[in-house]
Every structure is written in C-alpha cells, then in structure tokens.
C-alpha cells in the first residue's frame, strides 16, 4: 500500500531504538465492545482497527512480532464485559485490553483492569470518571471526554447569551456526565443561566414524542441534547413535527457524526451546533492518507468510529514499541506522555490523567444532496478544553 507520509509510517517510526522483549510469537490484544448494541459506530470501528493491524504487521510488526486482536462482544452490559475481559486474560492470554463504547461498561472494565493489574486503553467511552474520579494507573483513554466536547460547544453557546435551557439526554453515565459538565461550564461562563427542563430518557428507549412535548411546554430559549443513534433520530423527527427547533438553537454532542446523521438523510436537522466528523472536507495529509487506505480496502467512506478504531491500534503499536515489552508496568510507563500520529494529527497521552489530547470537530449541521453534513466547522484541540492541572489532581485518586 503506497501512501504519502501515511499515518502508519509516523507511528511505526517512533522509538525505533526500543528493546523487543516480547515473550510470544504474536502479541495478543484483547478487544471487547458493544458490537450488537451499537453497530452504526462499531462496525466502522472494527473495520478500521483491522486495517490498522494489517498496516502494523505489513511494516514488520512490533520487534518482528505480529499483532493479533482477539475480540469479544460485551453485549452493552458491565457484567458481560467483565466476564469477557476475564476470559480474554485467563483463556486467550492477551497482553493487554482495549475497546468499550458505553461509559458504564468502560468504567466496569477500567475497574477490572485495576483489580487484575492489566493495561487497558479505553478507546471510546466518554465519561470523565474513567480518567478523573475513577481513574487508575492501568487505564488510559483515547477519545475526547464528555467534559472536553461539552466545553467545545459551550464556547458557541455563551456567545448566543440564551438564558433558559432545556436538557435532553440518555439516563446513564455518559448522558449524566455530559449534562453535569454543561451545567457547570454554563454557570461559570454565563452567570444567571437557568435550566428549565430536564428530560432523561432510558438509553435506546426514548419516548421521543413525550420528551419533545415536555421540552416545548417548558418554552426554553435553547436546547442541549446528548442523545445519539436511534434515540436522536426519533427526537429529531418528533421535534420537527412539533416545531420545537424553529428559531431555537440546539447544541448536540455527537450530533454531527456520520453514524447518526447519515440514516436521517434529508430529515437531518439544519443549523444545530454539533461535535462530529466532516470527513468529506478534511484536507490534512494524514487524514487524506487514512481515507485513501480505508476506501481502498473497504470501498466505503469512514465514520467517526473508523477514526477511533484506527487510532486505538496505532496507539497500542506505539506504546509497545516504546516500552520494548508487553509487560504491564513497562506499558504504563511508556504510555505517559506518549506521542502518536492519528488521522486527526498528533496526540499525546497525558501523564497527569491518562487522557489523550485528541480533539474534535465542531460546526453546524446542514443538508446537502439529500444528506446531513457538517458545515462551518473547525477542529478544536483536546488540550484546549481540559481543566487546570490542579483541578484534575483534586479529582483523580492518587496512584
């Protein structure tokens, strides 16, 4: 595969002087995720980590050892996730763990990693707790957290100076975390703001008509939305039917991701402020190289999940190279302040809290050629949207 200055070249050239103290012929990575529960995000995610594994192995692997991913479905539940993680360790003898999507599942696996003293790279779960209140020495996180993405949206929200807000979110750890961050940030940056309605729906079981009507009855000046997937589609449809979004700004975490925009087609919302992934328009060399490789292999375009899956494996490859070993303690030491090349540019895994500096794209939604897209977007670096170090130290338990 010939790629101009590809991401894989940047990653695999790191730390070439590191040792190669790997005991097995292959380095087994234990991966678990909610494939049956969240296929829209996780099917592209899996495709991309498979592409990344091929790239790493084609470039010589890690010290001559091939990467092998052993994957399990966690069924979207903490109990099944812990059982799968135990099976990966005890039966498959994996060197480390990675993956998870839902925040409460990610927290359960992070606690398991602490108990079993095994390295865990949480690829997707967004709850702040995974690296702050419940953080531990064994767990690192790739994707920008709920606090970080909410902070990105708050920048635009305070410019509108809307006083009364309604909050719509899935009633589990991710939704609760995002709303808590939004309330705190808005109160700090816009004193006097009011939250006149909260609609916390069961994940995957939103009564969208009732939620939209309750929000409309509260007559907010603006809406902060954290629903995603099928729940988001239902909320958009019912809200449009009731005129809920007419002349009322909506801010939506994840609302600009192709996984969730694409299924709505020309019914996608227009003018919402969102975090997402405008893959069609990003012209950086590292992103173009990734899209070219992904399309060559799958004859399809990437989604945000593709970015996460690809960056997960290349992060693991980079830390294995730097550590020169698959031993847990050496991986932890090597992961601190590790720099990794991704399709979104270079990121760093912070020693302070084990959070990566991967950012997110922020923009507005529009409909073009019968499809929902992001327009007027910008990339927000992750490091720009984190609290002061002292605040994080106060939140995070001592290791």
Mean pLDDT calculated for residue range 180-193 = 97
Domains, the chain, ranges and CATH? 7-145+282-358 (3.40.50.2300), 147-281+361-395 (3.40.50.2300)
Mean pLDDT calculated for residue range 133-157 = 97
Q: Is residue 360 scored above 50 in pLDDT?
A: yes
What pLDDT score does 398 carry?
Answer: 85
What pLDDT score does 258 carry?
Answer: 97
Q: Is residue 242 scored above 70 in pLDDT?
A: yes
Asked whether 53 and 65 are in contact (CB, 8 A), the reply is: no
CB-side neighbour CA atoms (13 Å) of 99: 31
Q: What is the chain's percent helix, strand, coil content, to nearest 5?
A: 45, 25, 35
Mean pLDDT calculated for residue range 228-245 = 96
Q: Is residue 5 scored above 60 in pLDDT?
A: no
d(CA 264, CA 328): 44
Asked whether 163 and 258 are in contact (CB, 8 A), the reply is: no
- Percent of the chain residues past pLDDT 70, beyond the cut: 94
pLDDT in tens, 76-112: 999 999 999 999 999 999 999 999 999 999 999 999 9
The helix/strand/coil state of 246 is: coil
Q: Is residue 143 scored above 90 in pLDDT?
A: yes
Q: Tell me the sheet residues that pair with 170.
A: 201
Asked whether 144 and 385 are in contact (CB, 8 A), the reply is: yes
Predicted model pTM: 0.92
Residue 381 CB neighbours (<10 A): 17
Mean pLDDT calculated for residue range 223-233 = 97
Q: Is residue 294 scored above 60 in pLDDT?
A: yes
Q: Tell me the sheet residues that pair with 361.
A: 276, 379
- Percent of the chain residues past pLDDT 90, beyond the cut: 93
* Reported confidence tier of residue 24, pLDDT bands at 50, 70, 90: low
Asked whether 69 and 31 are in contact (CB, 8 A), the reply is: yes
Asked whether 347 and 310 are in contact (CB, 8 A), the reply is: no
Mean pLDDT calculated for residue range 213-235 = 97
What pLDDT score does 14 carry?
Answer: 38
H-helix or E-strand containing 164? strand 164-170
Mean pLDDT calculated for residue range 201-227 = 97
Q: Is residue 22 scored above 70 in pLDDT?
A: no
Residue 133 CB neighbours (<10 A): 13
What pLDDT score does 25 carry?
Answer: 85
Q: Is residue 12 scored above 70 in pLDDT?
A: no
Query: Strand pairing of 273-276 and 360-368?
Result: antiparallel
d(CA 321, CA 61): 9
Query: Strand pairing of 96-99 and 26-33?
Result: parallel
Mean pLDDT calculated for residue range 8-34 = 62
In terms of phi and psi (left: phi > 0; alpha: psi -120 to 50; beta: otherwise), the region of 199 is: beta
Residue 388 CB neighbours (<10 A): 8
What pLDDT score does 20 carry?
Answer: 37
What pLDDT score does 23 carry?
Answer: 54
* Reported confidence tier of residue 392, pLDDT bands at 50, 70, 90: very high
Mean pLDDT calculated for residue range 29-39 = 97
The helix/strand/coil state of 250 is: strand
Mean pLDDT calculated for residue range 238-247 = 96
**DSSP secondary structure, 185-208, as one string:** HHHHHSTT-EEEEEEEEPTT---H
What pLDDT score does 320 carry?
Answer: 98
- In order of 157, 167, 221, 251, 388, the CA distances from 162 in angstroms are 8, 13, 6, 12, 27
Tell me the backbone φ, ψ of residue 91, rounded to 5 degrees.
-95, -45
């Amino acid at each position: 595969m010939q790629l101009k200055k590809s991401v894989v070249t940047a990653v695999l050239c790191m730390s070439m002087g590191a040792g190669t103290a790997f005991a097995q012929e292959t380095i087994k990575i234990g991966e678990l995720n909610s494939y049956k529960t969240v296929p829209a995000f996780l099917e592209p995610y899996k495709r991309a980590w498979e592409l990344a594994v091929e790239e790493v192995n084609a470039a010589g692997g890690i010290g001559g050892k091939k990467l092998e991913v052993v994957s399990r479905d966690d069924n979207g539940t903490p109990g099944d996730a812990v059982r799968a993680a135990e099976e990966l360790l005890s039966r498959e003898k994996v060197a480390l763990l990675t993956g998870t999507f839902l925040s409460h599942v990610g927290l359960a696996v992070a606690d398991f990693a602490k108990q079993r003293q095994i390295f865990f790279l949480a690829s997707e779960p967004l709850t702040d707790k995974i690296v702050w209140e419940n953080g531990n020495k064994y767990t690192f996180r790739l994707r920008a957290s709920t606090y970080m993405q909410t902070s990105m949206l708050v920048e635009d929200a305070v410019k509108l100076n809307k006083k009364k807000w309604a909050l719509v979110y899935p009633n589990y750890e991710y939704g609760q975390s995002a709303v808590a961050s939004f309330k705190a940030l808005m109160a700090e940056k816009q004193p006097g703001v009011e939250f006149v309605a909260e609609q916390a729906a069961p994940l995957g079981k939103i009564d969208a008509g009732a939620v939209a009507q309750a929000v409309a009855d509260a007559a907010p000046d603006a809406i902060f939305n954290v629903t995603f997937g099928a729940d988001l589609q239902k909320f958009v449809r019912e809200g449009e039917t009731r005129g809920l979004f007419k002349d009322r700004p909506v801010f939506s975490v994840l609302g600009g991701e192709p996984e969730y925009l694409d299924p709505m087609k020309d019914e996608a919302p227009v003018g919402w402020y969102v975090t997402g992934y405008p893959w069609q328009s990003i012209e950086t060399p590292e992103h173009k190289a990734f899209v070219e490789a992904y399309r060559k292999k799958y004859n399809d375009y990437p989604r945000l999940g593709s970015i996460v899956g690809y960056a997960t494996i290349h992060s693991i490859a980079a830390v294995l190279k730097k550590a020169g070993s698959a031993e847990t303690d050496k991986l932890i030491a090597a992961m601190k302040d590790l720099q990794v090349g991704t399709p979104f540019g270079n990121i760093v895994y912070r020693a302070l809290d084990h959070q990566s500096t991967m950012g997110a794209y922020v923009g507005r939604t529009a409909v073009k050629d019968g499809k929902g897209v992001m327009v007027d977007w910008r990339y927000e670096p992750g490091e720009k949207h984190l609290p002061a170090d002292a605040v994080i130290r106060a939140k995070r338990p001592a290791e």
